[in-house]
Amino acid sequence: MIYLDHAATTPVPRAVADAMYAVLTEQFGNPSAQYAMGLHMKNQVSVWRETVARALDCPPGQLHFTSCGTEGDNWAIQAALWQNRHLGRHVVTTAVEHSAVGQACAWMEKQGCEVSYVSPEADGGISAEKILSAVRPDTALVSVMLVNNELGSVYPVSEIARGLQEKNPKTLLHTDAVQGFLKVNCSARALGADFVTVSAHKIGGPKGIGALYISPRVRNPRPLLPGGGQEGGLRSGTEATAQIAGFAKAVELRTENLAQKLAHMAAIKAYAVEQLCAIDDLTIIGSGTAPHILAVSLVGWPSQNIVNDLSEQGICISAGSACHQGKPSHVVAALKLPKRTAGGVIRLSFGPETTQADIDACAAALRRHHDTRLPML
């Protein structure tokens, strides 16, 4: 199998699975238990929290484990609107957020919030000025992702944070950094956001575990789950110790020689651009600079057919995270591309394990698809 869908999820290295297995079978104590095994687990959870917090460059006390990136996004949006409930109910976000943010905002609209969705340029870029110009005195929250999951566009989160400080310092800033974590500079301190969401399964960790950084500017964060008081009383529920252990192990492995891994992914992406651009009717979509995501269109050939055809040959790529029944995803739609271009958008995404041979096989399959299948009218 050739796996070119690392933005969807990533393989879990053996060492991560082993770390989880040991917790599930031997060190299974509840961190709230008062005997040695529980106390040991409590201590281990703090060590694992420190590992993830170090990678996110934030104090461990401000990092809260969640069940996934989607949960972190939803919590951040609710907590920001709660904290700023006396300021207003206006939210600024983009038209190209992952649905974890997009749908959470849509839900808030149903509850009386007003949401401004800032559109990208045709290349997928969005400037800090464009975001800031949508901010009003009653803007409670700005939510802008760090790296777009379909295009690889990197958005200017730290510039937006600085601009907000000048324009409306009470407005809180959230960034969904699920695709940015350990792929681009993702220091919570440097980003200056009040909430930063990450998820383990995009970096070689297990599914079902993520984390949310909450800055001290959020004085009394709204608890997501009131209950037994875990996660500083903000997100109760017995800690998912095996998932947390797996998350920390994945961070540890990924941060080893990280610069080299990122350079490798960037080189693979450059090689893919070179190989794919030699295919007739294939064009690059957007100007995304994240090292692991490349969006292209085989103009005129429906993306779902391409995905199915390559899948039959054991090659996994994606038609965009929300391509339903031949309709382009909301991200592709926001680019306002010609219909035949939008219809042919596919995403290739890479990991440290991806090789040039993987790209060669994918390019050959795409060329065959182009040469043997009929395009749409």
Catalytic residues: 323
Q: CA 156, 162, 166, 172 torsion: positive or negative? A: positive
Q: Could you tell me how many residues of this chain bind ligand PLP (CB under 6 A)? A: 14
Give the Å distances, CA to CA, from 135 to 9, 108, 140, 198, 221.
34, 17, 9, 25, 22
Strand partners, 66: 210
Binding mask 68-97 for ligand PLP (x = CB under 6 A): xxx--x------------------------
Residue 258, Cβ density class (10 Å: 0-12 exposed, 13-18 middle, ≥19 buried): middle
Question: What does the alpha-carbon distance between residue 301 and residue 122 come to, in Å, rounded to a whole number?
Answer: 20
By beta-carbon proximity to ligand PLP, the closer residue of 98 and 249 is: 98
Q: Which range of residues in 26-34, 39-47, 64-72, 166-174 is near ligand PLP by CB under 6 A?
A: 64-72
For the sheet containing 195-199, what is the strand order? 63-66, 210-214, 195-199, 172-176, 139-143, 90-94, 114-118
8 Å CB contact between 85 and 116: no
Is 292 a binding residue for ligand PLP by CB under 6 A? The answer is: no
Task: Name the phi and psi angles at 229, rounded to 5.
Answer: 95, 10
| Shortest separation between residue 279's beta carbon and ligand PLP, angstroms | 27
By beta-carbon proximity to ligand PLP, the closer residue of 68 and 212 is: 68
Q: Which of 88, 192, 204, 210 binds ligand PLP (CB under 6 A)?
A: 210
Q: Please report, as residue ranges, which positions from 92 to 131 form the binding site for ligand PLP (by CB under 6 A).
A: 98, 100
Beta-carbon contacts of 4 under 8 Å, excluding residues fewer than 6 positions away, are 315, 316, 317, 348, 349, 350, 354, 358, 359, 362
8 Å CB contact between 350 and 292: yes
8 Å CB contact between 149 and 98: yes
| Shortest separation between residue 339's beta carbon and ligand PLP, angstroms | 26
Is 250 a binding residue for ligand PLP by CB under 6 A? The answer is: no
Q: Which range of residues in 75-83, 171-179, 288-296, 350-358 is near ligand PLP by CB under 6 A?
A: 171-179
By beta-carbon proximity to ligand PLP, the closer residue of 179 and 297 is: 179
Is 149 a binding residue for ligand PLP by CB under 6 A? The answer is: yes
Q: Which of 10, 88, 174, 176 binds ligand PLP (CB under 6 A)?
A: 176
Q: Which of 23, 105, 164, 178 binds ligand PLP (CB under 6 A)?
A: 178
**CA nearest to 161, candidates 143, 147, 176:** 143
By beta-carbon proximity to ligand PLP, the closer residue of 90 and 202 is: 202
Place of tokens 């996110």: 56
| Shortest separation between residue 69's beta carbon and ligand PLP, angstroms | 3
- Measured from each CB, the residue nearest to ligand PLP is 69
Task: Return the structure tokens found at 74.
Answer: 């939803």
Q: Which range of residues in 20-28, 157-165, 174-182, 224-232 is near ligand PLP by CB under 6 A?
A: 174-182
Is 302 a binding residue for ligand PLP by CB under 6 A? The answer is: no
Task: Return the structure tokens found at 90.
Answer: 């206006």
Q: What is the contact surface with ligand PLP in residues (CB under 6 A)?
A: 68-70, 73, 98, 100, 145, 149, 176, 178-179, 199, 201, 210
